[in-house]
Structure 1
Amino acid sequence: MKQLIDRFLSAVRRKRDVSFWYHPSYECPTIMKHNKVHGVVHDRGKKLLSHLLHEKLIDMTDIHPSPWVGLSVLGLFHSRDYLESLESPQTLGRIFGLKPQYVDIDELVGFQRRGVGGTIMAIKSVLQGGKKVAINLGGGFHHAEPDKGSGFCAYNDIAVAIAKLRKQGYQEPIAIVDLDFHFGNGNTAAFAKDPSVLVYSINGPQWSQVRKKKTEITLPEETTDREYLKKLRETFPKVLKTFQPKLMFYVAGHDVLSDDPLGGFEMTVPGVFERDRLVVDWARENRVPLVVTLAGGFSMKACQCSANLLSYTLGATEKVDLKEDTNFHKSFGHISKSLNTLELQKEAAIGNEFSFSAEDLFDSNPLGSQRKILDFYSAYGIELALERYGILPKIRKLGYCDLKISVNAAEPMHQIIRVEGRWEADPVPKTYLLGEVVLRKLALPKPKEVPGGGKLDLISIEWLLLQHPMGSFSDKKKILPGQEHPGLGLGMEVQEVFVQMALRLGMDGLALHPSHYHIGLGASALFHFLDPKVEGRFRALREVLKKKELAAASFCVEKKRLQLRDGEVISWVPGDQIHAVSGRLKAYFNSPDYEEAVLKEKYRLLKEGLHIARAPKRLRKAAPRRHSGKLAS
């Protein structure tokens, strides 16, 4: 029992000792789209964070947004001429292996600047912020030299960060441990004449002309776990003990696996875990602050290695299982509890956690205005929630990339959240609207049967669009009234997100005002019309249309073919369709009085001969025309 308690307390202490630095721009879509390397994971950082959160190894307070680094900081290491040359698509194309016409300068330069910012802030967190380990899910740009970039590295984050430290007066010895498959020529060139910085590395065959030091070891291709770990155990502890660093960087490249598309070693996942464990343990045992950058390794197996490393720094001894959870209500409720109020309200900014001058680091908030959705959710919080609940990952699985979330909360009665993205296979980059919702707070008169005082406080979903612009209609997925494109197939997940929002805000429920029959039908499992007469009419329509396919049923209502025996048309009249969240509203919908009133109206219409009238002759053979409405799920 004592051993179990000690292990638990050790894991808790480790969690408190570790911070993470990340920015969505790390998932640079241009590189992933135009560098056709098989088996590459496009969203490594988000995938790792998502699963660490899911496994409860971290919470959102452990994740910090990497700031944008100004040219004045980059200029501490890189030459002015070189920095100016990065305005050229030809220069960036050479560095990132892209044709000039595919180069997005702002995107490529932006994600590298954020990566440098993440490493700088990681250093601050271990030297001034009380952390023992700080992990930048970007960075590790070890190929960039003072006046030249290469190998997907425009800036050298570690070299820039050390230059910044030295300028601030930090003179302690620093070690760089580089275990990426590729030789880190940039770091070697940067510190060739600096005895205060040790570069220790084990890499594959060298392709750069930069001369290595004795502490930089080359191993042949096809090196196995046994050979690699033998060399590491023989040299690493001895070299580090002799040097006695006071700060250590670990360039944890996971491109050393046997099937890595860009590597050449024959290592296994357990072998890489043992490698990483040796490095982390040495830093902890010798009380040396450790900054980890992930560097190379973008295969699924490499992501598993990264997950193992990150979880080990947090005290876990087993690997993180990168599986997808599909139990929406259970998992969404669990995730909602883990998102605290501060996380959902905070903006994507560094704040005052560390002291940086405005000329050094600054962070813009590209996600939206400072006004909050429903007076609570910031743009940053919305993005976190959509990521955590799995909405954005599932959109990516459909083939979209470079997802952007924007909000406009300026009008309290018309607050907008949009999700846009690019189609990964598009030869020419184009942005598509994938999702849009308009929300507002709504206070409805309370039916007298609902207990308590006041009105019903609801989140009104004024407008909801979930569309798959690159999808196609088919016999199995037919066009519905109001659709231009098929839906994303995320209606239930998005609905559950709104439920969690209402629960968090302590509101009575959600309100829809469905403009079409199929929308009301899609929500009817959880939503009921507040007016029992309207609910009764809806159920009568549903009864008559139950043998029709959804598209055909909705068109019957749209074409006014639902009629009584005397010819009276029963049209679709939108009403307030409510999903009860509060106890008092649930009690109302579950009451015998409500159900009795509903059934009374339903059977009145059925007894009066509600039926589907024959279509006019001129319409019987006509195919349903395409509508220009928007609603889809």
Structure 2
Amino acid sequence: MPRTPELSSHARRTYSRLSSADLAASAEESLSLDDLGLEPGGDRVGLAFGTYSQEGLEHALRAYGFAQRLEERVGPVELRLSCQDPFQPRITVLSRRFHAAVVDLSLRQAMGAEVGFTRSAAEAPLLYVDSLLLQHPGRPFDWSRPPLPGQLHPGLSLARDLLELLHLMARRIGAEGVALMPATFSAACVYEPRFTFVDGAAQGHFSALRRAGRGWPRWLLAWAVELGCMRDEQGQPALFTPAPMISPLSRRVARRLDTRGWQRAWRFHAKQVLSLEEEALQARFPWARMPPGPPPERVVEVLGYDPLAPASPYQDACEPAPAPPRTAATS
């Protein structure tokens, strides 16, 4: 049975110390996201999920140490809470140095039926992550961390910390799990240590993709999947299709991922033998999106490298598109 995610001892102690009064503390009047040019229309700041004020969120982020870790990377930050609907809040953390968002979260309450649960689990309350952005707008890409599909800026290496905070928030508001839908294979890889696909077949296909890319840099496998260069035994593209993932916080939600049907579908699809079509990847690889300078030797072995070669005809197709609604993307 999938286990509920383990929390650090510091997180558990801090969670116990923070009271409802701490989290709902009144905040002074502040600029809205509209004033900052980050959101069309006005904001009404209130209590997110009937629990969190902007001031309370700021206090919690500092108590957990997350705000300090952000500031070590991007300098001073400001938090903005948009609560036009208290049960669909948007939380944005802005870097004063780079004048851009470094964290941007759109959250809402949902029920288990929305992710495909039936029977009693269909009524389980969930914290649903509609979108998630975590980025360093002042840092360039380099060959130690090339861009992943959909990334405009490098990440902050804080995804684990942020996901832990979301699990703590879910516990606080009485949710029985955290749910999301990864937009890309690379995003699913970030979530996979704490999240499981609701559909056993989707989990099995994801496992097969991971196994096929064993020994490869994750970013290179991510591009191979994104560009349709993974093949099944019949030579057909083995694509990644977004599907709901969940991290259970209750026994009834965890049991939904431990049925015979789920296990059977997972085992069947995990046995797929997938392979990388290197010629297709060489032809489609978006060199123009990559950092300047020659790539590492291992990349050259797989892709070849000609600095005078024209841009790939697939370049335009690789440009990041606006995220579809109800989709979570991590960078």
TM-score range, shorter chain: 0.7 to 0.9
Displacement, 1:518?
A: 0.9
Matched, 1:460 2:134: no
Could you say what secondary structure the match of 1:464 adopts?
Answer: strand
Q: Work out whether residues 88 and 109 of structure 2, in 8 Å CA contact, stay in contact via their aligned partners in 1.
A: no
Matched, 1:614 2:278: yes
Matched, 1:482 2:156: no
Q: Work out whether residues 231 and 238 of structure 2, in 8 Å CA contact, stay in contact via their aligned partners in 1.
A: yes
Amino acid at match of 1:346: A
Q: Which residue of 2 aligns with 1:447?
A: 117
Matches within 5 A, 1:76-155: none
Displacement, 1:386?
A: 1.2
Q: Which residue of 2 aligns with 1:511?
A: 179
Matches within 5 A, 1:380-459: 380-401=55-76, 403-411=77-85, 414-423=88-97, 431-445=99-113, 447-448=117-118, 452=120, 454-459=122-127
Q: Work out whether residues 529 and 577 of structure 1, in 8 Å CA contact, stay in contact via their aligned partners in 2.
A: yes
1:530 alignment partner, one of 173, 176, 198: 198
CA-atom RMSD in angstroms: 2.5
Aligned-partner Cα distance in 2 for 1:592–1:525 = 22
Matches within 5 A, 1:251-400: 329-348=8-27, 364=29, 369-400=44-75
Matches within 5 A, 1:114-263: none
Aligned-partner Cα distance in 2 for 1:617–1:514 = 23
Amino acid at match of 2:20: T
Could you say what secondary structure the match of 1:522 adopts?
Answer: helix
Q: Deviations over 1:318-353 (max 9, x none)?
A: xxxxxxxxx9622112111111122212212xxxxx
Q: Work out whether residues 111 and 122 of structure 2, in 8 Å CA contact, stay in contact via their aligned partners in 1.
A: no
Instruction: Note closer, same or farther for the CA distance 1:572–1:413 as it changes in structure 2 (3 Å cut).
Output: farther
Q: Which residue of 2 aligns with 1:469?
A: 137
> What is the count of residue pairs matched by the alignment?
280
Aligned-partner Cα distance in 2 for 1:583–1:490 = 28
Could you say what secondary structure the match of 2:138 adopts?
Answer: coil
Instruction: Note closer, same or farther for the CA distance 1:419–1:622 as it changes in structure 2 (3 Å cut).
Output: closer
Q: Which has the larger radius of gyration?
A: 1
Q: Which residue of 1 aligns with 2:264?
A: 596
Of the two structures, which has the highest relative contact order with CA contacts closer than 8 Å and spacing of 6 or more? 2
Q: Work out whether residues 328 and 493 of structure 1, in 8 Å CA contact, stay in contact via their aligned partners in 2.
A: no
Aligned-partner Cα distance in 2 for 1:343–1:557 = 45
Q: Work out whether residues 45 and 84 of structure 2, in 8 Å CA contact, stay in contact via their aligned partners in 1.
A: no
Q: Deviations over 1:490-517 (max 9, x none)?
A: 1000000000011112211111110010
Matched, 1:494 2:162: yes
Q: Work out whether residues 347 and 365 of structure 1, in 8 Å CA contact, stay in contact via their aligned partners in 2.
A: no
Displacement, 1:440?
A: 0.9
Matched, 1:544 2:205: no
Q: Share of identical aligned residues, percent? A: 22
Could you say what secondary structure the match of 1:398 adopts?
Answer: helix
Q: Deviations over 1:402-428 (max 9, x none)?
A: x111111114675211001222xxxxx
Instruction: Note closer, same or farther for the CA distance 1:622–1:364 as it changes in structure 2 (3 Å cut).
Output: closer
Aligned-partner Cα distance in 2 for 1:453–1:530 = 12
Q: Which residue of 1 aligns with 2:242?
A: 574
Instruction: Note closer, same or farther for the CA distance 1:390–1:458 as it changes in structure 2 (3 Å cut).
Output: same
Q: Work out whether residues 407 and 415 of structure 1, in 8 Å CA contact, stay in contact via their aligned partners in 2.
A: yes
Amino acid at match of 2:58: E
Q: Work out whether residues 107 and 130 of structure 2, in 8 Å CA contact, stay in contact via their aligned partners in 1.
A: yes
Q: Deviations over 1:432-474 (max 9, x none)?
A: 21110111111132635x7x46523111111111111111222
Aligned-partner Cα distance in 2 for 1:613–1:554 = 14
TM-score (norm 2): 0.77
Q: Deviations over 1:169-209 (max 9, x none)?
A: xxxxxxxxxxxxxxxxxxxxxxxxxxxxxxxxxxxxxxxxx
Amino acid at match of 1:331: H
Q: Work out whether residues 78 and 96 of structure 2, in 8 Å CA contact, stay in contact via their aligned partners in 1.
A: no
Aligned-partner Cα distance in 2 for 1:561–1:621 = 10
Could you say what secondary structure the match of 2:96 adopts?
Answer: strand
Aligned-partner Cα distance in 1 for 2:260–2:175 = 24
Instruction: Note closer, same or farther for the CA distance 1:565–1:381 as it changes in structure 2 (3 Å cut).
Output: same
Amino acid at match of 1:374: F
Amino acid at match of 2:199: D
Displacement, 1:485?
A: 0.8
Q: Deviations over 1:373-411 (max 9, x none)?
A: 23322111211111111111011112412x111111114
Q: Work out whether residues 486 and 632 of structure 1, in 8 Å CA contact, stay in contact via their aligned partners in 2.
A: no
Could you say what secondary structure the match of 2:106 adopts?
Answer: strand
Aligned-partner Cα distance in 2 for 1:331–1:593 = 38
Instruction: Note closer, same or farther for the CA distance 1:602–1:345 as it changes in structure 2 (3 Å cut).
Output: same
Aligned-partner Cα distance in 1 for 2:244–2:330 = 19
- Unpaired stretches in structure 2, ≥5 consecutive residues: 1-5, 33-42, 291-318, 324-328
Aligned-partner Cα distance in 2 for 1:584–1:621 = 44
Displacement, 1:614?
A: 3.0
Q: Deviations over 1:104-148 (max 9, x none)?
A: xxxxxxxxxxxxxxxxxxxxxxxxxxxxxxxxxxxxxxxxxxxxx
Aligned-partner Cα distance in 2 for 1:561–1:413 = 41
Amino acid at match of 2:61: L
TM-score (norm 1): 0.41
Aligned-partner Cα distance in 1 for 2:148–2:193 = 19
Amino acid at match of 1:496: E
Displacement, 1:578?
A: 0.3
